[in-house]
Structure 1
């Protein structure tokens, strides 16, 4: 007999019903979650946990990279930024550099907050018939 996990069901439904913009927001939030966990593990000198969480954050950044439409100039700029963050996380992981982790975290927070504003603006425009 399978036991239903309501939280897992909720998460699955949230992902399956989310717009592409909301999925991107979820990726940013997930990346931040793993960066926080990686920083804590780094501070606590839990090397394996630090490595795992940094790699999860890198996987999310790589997913953001492959979803870009490179025919758009802005996407090419984003690709460079994501590549930089990914390389910085590699360096932070090897050197146990908390400052680099915080630098990447700051960039992700800024992207997440901007993305959230875009989603909110789009929703307002949809509800007002295209007028901001």
Structure 2
């Protein structure tokens, strides 16, 4: 048990130091990765019939989308693109709620696909934004 707590603490330190040194662009990529990881976990919990863990994972994904990705949108400078992304993030959250409420794996898959499409675009522009 102590080894598990130690490993978790070590992982937290790694994540925290990664966040502290990340560029704004990299932080957005990390949010996409975190949402995808939470959706994958929810899918596994759904398959195992672990309702509580499924709900926690879906809640985590929704929190990342709402309070991370959507909150990071710059509506003034982003204009129409920011509005479209906001609508897309809202749709992803609704898919996640549907998946949670109805154990709908197809809704989880669609949410993951949409986030992957946007996240892939962020990853592609990374070298240009980060100056690599």
TM-score by length of 2: 0.86
> What is the correspondence of 1:115-126 to structure 2 with a 5 Å cutoff?
115-123=122-130, 126=131
Q: In structure 2, what is the Cα distance between the partners aligned to 1:92 and 1:11?
A: 28
- The one of 114, 119, 122 equivalent to 1:112 is 119
Q: Residues 6 and 44 (structure 1 numbering): CA distance in 2 closer, same or farther, change over 3 Å?
A: closer
Number of residue equivalences: 123
Matched, 1:87 2:97: no
Look up the match of 2:103. 96
**Structure 1 residue 6, shift from structure 2 partner:** 4.0
Please give the root-mean-square deviation of Cα atoms over the aligned residues, in Å: 1.7
- State which structure, 1 or 2, has the greater radius of gyration over its C-alpha atoms: 1
The 3-state SS of whatever aligns with 2:75 is coil
Look up the match of 1:48. 52
Q: In structure 2, what is the Cα distance between the partners aligned to 1:109 and 1:62?
A: 16
TM-score by length of 1: 0.86
**Structure with more of its chain in helix, by fraction:** 2
